[in-house]
Amino acid sequence: MAGNALALFLHKALSHPLSTRAFTCSIYEAYPRSEKVYLGGGLGLASNGVAVLASLGLDDQIKKRTGVAKFSNFFTEGGQQLGRWSHEGFGEYMYGTMRSTLYDILSEELERNGMKIEYKKRVVKVEEKNDMVNVEFEDGTSAQGDYLIGCDGITTLISRRMLILGARSAVRAHIFPEAPKPEFIGLNGAGGFVFEKDIPPNFPDRLKGSMNFIFGKNAFFGIAPGSDGVRTHP
Ligand SMILES: Cc1cc2nc3c(=O)[nH]c(=O)nc-3n(C[C@H](O)[C@H](O)[C@H](O)COP(=O)(O)OP(=O)(O)OC[C@H]3O[C@@H](n4cnc5c(N)ncnc54)[C@H](O)[C@@H]3O)c2cc1C
């Protein structure tokens, strides 16, 4: 997510009238496109995330292709309401979506701006060579650039070791080499999607148009509005 959004911001900076430097950027993604578009479950986009996307001109897309949540409700397993959090007053509401819909919105915008995501390019090695950063991919190919910005998520190679690497970089490499690694703590999650037409008529009104969090003894259950672009893996 961050990589695609950042590339759009870099593109925006480049086309700014005060921009004096011409530069290009490339996006490398580990997964093939055929897999990447199905990855992930649901995602609640909070007002600050929507504001960031609005500054890329993508708020209309978000509002059109996701489900709005004006409240978050918290319940006990017996149905007793523990709390109600209004998403009013933050400039934007909360929007529920499939992660893949958000990915689509960002990657379609990249395409509209003439930028391409290079799929099946898993970075396996990064090193500084002379004045450049050299990146090696799993398929044996490599790429060079002045800067490397790691947007490879929580578990992997670049972000954990460096944020920006490059001889001319103001923020030098090796920022958090000792940062704690993620570890599995025994929590599992599963998600599913129900089409609006399949929602039973007795579905309680108080759960509609809201994020709902129901706390049980051994598990937690959530129901949220989602996107219209539900995609299932073939
Ligand atoms: C179950 C779950 C639910 C969540 N729910 C929410 C929510 O409701 N709202 C919210 O705001 N956040 C939520 N989050 C958190 C959110 O998903 C992350 O904060 C966000 O995805 C981080 O974005 P990112 O771009 O840093 O990393 P990612 O979205 O993980 O993107 C990293 C990308 O890098 C690619 N990559 C990884 N390694 C390499 C490599 N070596 N070479 C090339 N490419 C590589 C990956 O394939 C991926 O495309 C949730 C997370 C989880 C796990």
- If one residue of 156, 157, 213 were mutated to test the ligand 1 pocket, choosing by the most ligand atoms within 8 A of its CB, it would be 156
Question: In a 3-state reduction of DSSP, which class is residue 23?
Answer: coil
Residue closest by Cα to atom 46 of ligand 1? 152
Burial (CB count within 10 angstroms: exposed 0-12, middle 13-18, buried 19+), residue 148: buried
Q: What does the buried/exposed string (b/e) look like for 104-113 if buried means 16 or more CB atoms within 10 Å of the residue's CB?
A: bbbbebbeee
Give me the amino acid identity at 144: Q
Residue closest by Cα to atom 51 of ligand 1? 43
pLDDT given at position 229: 63
Tell whether ligand 1 has an atom less than 6 A from the beta carbon of residue 104: no
Tens of pLDDT, residue by residue, the chain (234 residues): 889 999 999 999 988 888 887 888 899 999 998 887 777 788 899 999 999 999 999 999 999 999 899 999 999 999 999 999 999 999 999 999 888 889 999 999 999 999 999 999 988 888 878 878 888 999 999 999 888 888 887 766 655 444 554 444 433 344 455 666 778 898 888 887 788 788 899 988 888 889 999 999 989 999 988 876 666 665
C-beta of residue 152 within 8 angstroms of C-beta of residue 139: no
Residue closest by Cα to atom 41 of ligand 1? 123
* Domain range list for the chain: 2-165
Superfamily of domain 2-165: FAD/NAD(P)-binding domain (3.50.50.60)
Distances (CA, A) of 121 to 31, 52, 60, 111, 112: 7, 27, 31, 18, 22
Atom number, ligand 1, closest to the C-alpha of residue 158: 41
Atom number, ligand 1, closest to the C-alpha of residue 31: 47
